[in-house]
């Protein structure tokens, strides 16, 4: 087998508004970004929006899986999951915009009884409950976020005093700081922020695919 490589800069919308599924393989380390890294990403995104500019987050390395619409995240899972956390918080803060929710999940093609939509990202990391945290966040709504924001204190150093896991702590922190920012801007600016976030924040996915030498 030969290895083909494709690299093309894509917006968050291009990466998430589709039926592609991203899988964190079992050999990867667990999600480990702390509050400071999430806050830095937030600051960079806000500055880009207020400066009417685009923003490049970094690279992703994706390997095509068993199906053409499944990708293993070889490198960049911290960025990808954190972007998904931002999208989820925005979807709860903007329930009137169903397009945002569509970026979090893969719609079921069949409306069978008990058939559920799938989360856009699945973690298969050993010795970690990352996938359980993803699913818990996936099911959070406005009252649940509000409860968690009130339950977990944010210390002066920006760390949540929580025992539910780093991913959930980051999800609540992101929701809190986005909510505080949205309270300071107009509805028109909120919509502009979302369009800037999904349309002018970019990553560079490097896609790896096995290919027959004789093909």
| pLDDT (tens digit per residue) in 100-136 | 888 998 876 555 555 567 899 999 998 789 999 999 9
Report the pLDDT value the prediction gives residue 7, as an integer from 0 to 100. 85
Report the pLDDT value the prediction gives residue 5, as an integer from 0 to 100. 77
What lies within 8 Å, CB to CB, of 205 at 6+ separation is: 7, 8, 10, 15, 59, 60, 61, 62
Bigger pLDDT: 78 vs 108? 78
Q: What is the pLDDT of residues 148-207, one digit of tens each?
A: 888 776 554 444 545 678 899 999 999 999 999 999 999 899 989 999 999 999 999 999
Q: What is the pTM of this model?
A: 0.89
């Amino acid at each position: 087998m030969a290895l083909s490589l494709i690299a093309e800069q894509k917006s968050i919308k291009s990466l998430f508004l589709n039926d592609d599924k991203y899988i964190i393989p079992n050999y990867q380390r667990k999600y480990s970004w702390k509050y400071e890294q999430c806050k830095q990403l937030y600051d960079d995104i806000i500055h880009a929006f207020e400066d009417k500019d685009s923003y490049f987050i970094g690279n992703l390395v994706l390997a095509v899986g068993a199906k053409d619409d499944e990708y293993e995240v070889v490198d960049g899972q911290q960025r990808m999951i954190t972007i998904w956390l931002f999208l989820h918080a925005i979807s709860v803060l903007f329930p009137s915009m169903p397009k945002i929710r569509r970026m979090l999940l893969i719609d079921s093609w069949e409306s069978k009884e008990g058939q559920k939509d799938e989360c856009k990202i699945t973690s298969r990391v050993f010795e970690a409950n990352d996938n359980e945290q993803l699913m818990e966040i996936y099911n959070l709504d406005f009252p649940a976020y509000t409860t968690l924001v009130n339950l977990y204190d944010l210390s002066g150093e920006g760390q949540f005093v929580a025992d539910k896991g780093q991913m959930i702590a980051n999800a609540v922190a992101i929701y809190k700081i986005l909510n505080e920012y949205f309270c300071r801007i107009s509805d028109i600016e909120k919509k502009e922020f979302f369009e800037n976030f999904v349309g002018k924040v970019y990553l560079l996915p490097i896609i790896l695919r096995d290919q027959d030498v004789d093909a």
